[in-house]
Chain A
Amino acid sequence: DTGVSQNPRHKITKRGQNVTFRCDPISEHNRLYWYRQTLGQGPEFLTYFQNEAQLEKSRLLSDRFSAERPKGSFSTLEIQRTEQGDSAMYLCASSLKETQYFGPGTRLLVL
């Protein structure tokens, strides 16, 4: 257990529905990252926060994806109008410097 938690651990949804995932980082970590991982590939960067500021967002992230970290603590990742191609593992990580501590991930299946 790294100290980073994610909820839910699994989510099955129908195409077109909205889903929201939550990440609780290690409390003193100011940086928080979201990644997406599909089978056979490494984690793919989505976005990252320093405290409450969203500093970068991948061009791979469509307008259907939004992330927030309102008080610089926990973060949420929302996917609107889900598509089957959104099925993946969504990983959250937090850090003080370069070493990232990952949560267990939320596995999303869009039917």
Chain B
Amino acid sequence: ILNVEQSPQSLHVQEGDSTNFTCSFPSSNFYALHWYRWETAKSPEALFVMTLNGDEKKKGRISATLNTKEGYSYLYIKGSQPEDSATYLCAFWYAGKSTFGDGTTLTVKP
């Protein structure tokens, strides 16, 4: 059984604050790590697919880093906006399927 853990479970920030979340995963047999954003009443949306140790990916104000040797990934949001409010999920991809963490729910207050 693969263990994928995310922290914190939830986060409340003010508009304009920068924030980050952690995803930890098994460091052996690594293939890929995915980040998703899941807004209420919508489908989970893929943000990043990360495959190489040291990978850094960026999409607008959101970026992610990957450390496969120690088994963690960080997701950063710079200057949070209310529209960033969502649950952010990471998923460890191995043997053709994903094992998800329980997510970090971000609430950005105007």
Chain B contact residues: helix, strand, loop or mixed: strand
- Chain A contact residue count (CB 8 A cutoff): 26
A85 in contact (CB, < 8 A): no
Bound-state Cα–Cα, A106 to B103, Å? 20
Report the minimal beta-carbon distance from B105 to chain A, rounded to whole angstroms.
9
Q: Which residues of B contact A (CB under 8 A)?
A: 4, 6, 32, 34, 36, 41-46, 49, 89, 91, 93, 96-103
Q: Which residues of A contact B (CB under 8 A)?
A: 1-2, 4, 31, 33, 35, 40-45, 48, 50, 55-56, 91, 93, 98-105
A–B pairs, 18, beta carbons within 8 Å: A4-B43, A33-B97, A40-B102, A41-B102, A42-B102, A43-B44, A43-B100, A48-B96, A55-B96, A56-B97, A100-B46, A101-B46, A102-B43, A102-B44, A102-B45, A103-B43, A104-B41, A105-B43
